[in-house]
Copies of this chain bind each other. A is one copy, B any other.
Amino acid sequence: MSEIANTTTTPYYAVIFTSHRTEGDKGYSEIAARMVELASQQPAFLGVESVCESVGITVSYWADLESIKAWKDNAEHIIAQERGKEEWYSEYKTRIAKVERDYS
C-alpha cells in the first residue's frame, strides 16, 4: 500500500477517500488489508495509494465508473463499509473523480 500506483493512460477514475479515524484499531487494519487484496482482484482496478495517520487518505484508481459501482456493492466490502461508519471513522468523505491528465 505504500507505492505510487502505476496507472494506465488517461482518462481513468480516482476514488478519493478521506477519513478521520476513531481511537483504537477495532479490527480496522486486518479488514483494510483484506479490502485492498479484494479490490485488487476486481476488473478495471488500476491501483491504490494510501497513507494513514489520524487522518487517512486512500486513493484507488479504476478504468471505468461501472467497476467503481460494482466494488461499492461488493458484499464483503459492504460489511466493511458498515463497520467503518459505525466503528472506525468519526468523519469521512468519498469523492469520485475523472483523472484527465497526469505526469511524473
Contact = CB atoms under 8 A, between A and B. Distances in A.
| Interface residue SS majority, chain A | strand
Contact of A95 (B55, B93, B101): B101
A98 interface: yes
Interface string A72-104: 000000000000000000011111111111111
Given A4-B55, A95-B102, 17 more contacts: A4-B18, A4-B93, A7-B95, A14-B95, A14-B97, A16-B99, A49-B55, A51-B51, A51-B53, A92-B104, A93-B103, A93-B104, A95-B99, A96-B102, A97-B98, A98-B98, A98-B100
Interface of A: 2-5, 7, 14, 16, 18-20, 49-57, 59, 91-104
